[in-house]
Amino acid sequence: MSSSTFRIGGDLEVGRLGFGAMRLPTGPGPAREASLALARRVVELGITLIDTAHLYGWGANEELLAEALHPYADELLITTKVGVARSAASGEGHLDGRPDVLRDQVEQGLRRLRVERIELLQLHRIDPEVPLADQLGALRELQVQGKVGRIGLSEVTVTELGQAREIVEVASVQNRYSLVDRAHEPVLKACEAAGIAFLPWRPVAGALSGALSGATAEIAAVAAELSATPAQVSLAWLLGHSPVILPIPGTARLEHLEENLAAAQLRLSPAQRDRLDRLPQQAQQA
């Protein structure tokens, strides 16, 4: 049986099933109150890893989490991401890995999250217009200053991960990955070999989608056998697939939050896991 916890960077222990805060409404009114209540329920249910980013509402998501949860429980890790900036002209986001921009976004994150140190800071995307050494060098400087604890990456290839590890110690990788979307399997294997946390985003993608009818039907069949939901089956598969996987499913609905958390207790039989393991090949042939 795989462990229910993981030590990010070798020392920061969190539960392996986390929460992605991106979907939480941050505007004023009843929707915000519901978001605050849900964030508090996340912690009440024992989740110790929450993922946010500067991009999510341009800081509004970070502020929401601070309003809901500060002062934070000792065991709670809120990880955030920097490296996407908002265009003053269009209001749209674009990659911006210039050191001064990264430093400014970290300072904003510290203020909004009401902390003196971000224990895990992830580069949201590598900016191809800025040397990688400059981007990671800026984060390393913040690490030396004590404003950042550990450095992670998002949406990287095996080659980029290797290049980054020559510059800084990489504690985490956050790539799109799910039961039916395993394009980043080589990155996962590289993380596994190095003991790096792998945080899949969109971890239940395809479980409910009609786009992959064969895969969807197989997931639904396994779910029926276990009296579970397709999303729970997808999360259980991820947790058993690799000990470094830390799924961060997101939702704005309390019932979905509780369903997702229950996936940690779901046990797939070897035969069921084998059927699910074969899904990508089946989906590609469909």
Write b or e for each residue in 33-50: b if 16 or more Cβ atoms lie within 10 A of its Cβ, otherwise e: eebbebbebbbebebbbb
Residue 222 lies inside a defined structural domain of this protein: no
Q: What is the pLDDT of residue 280?
A: 64
Domain that holds residue 9: 5-205+242-250
**Residues assigned a catalytic role:** 56
Helix axes 99-113, 132-144, angle to 10 degrees: 40
Mean pLDDT, the chain, rounded, equals 94
- Give the per-residue SS3 of 214-261: HHHHHHHHHHHHCCCCHHHHHHHHHHHHCCCECCCCECCCHHHHHHHH
Task: Quote the number of domains for the chain.
Answer: 1
d(CA 167, CA 162): 9
Across 112-116, average pLDDT: 98
Q: What is the pLDDT of residue 282?
A: 47
Confidence of residue 163 (pLDDT cuts 50, 70, 90): very high
Residue 63 lies inside a defined structural domain of this protein: yes
d(CA 278, CA 268): 14
Task: Write the CATH number for 51.
Answer: 3.20.20.100
Q: What is the pLDDT of residue 69?
A: 98
Between the alpha carbon of residue 223 and those of residues 44, 235, 260, the distances in Å are 27, 11, 13
Q: Is the pLDDT of residue 285 over 50?
A: no
Residue 86 lies inside a defined structural domain of this protein: yes
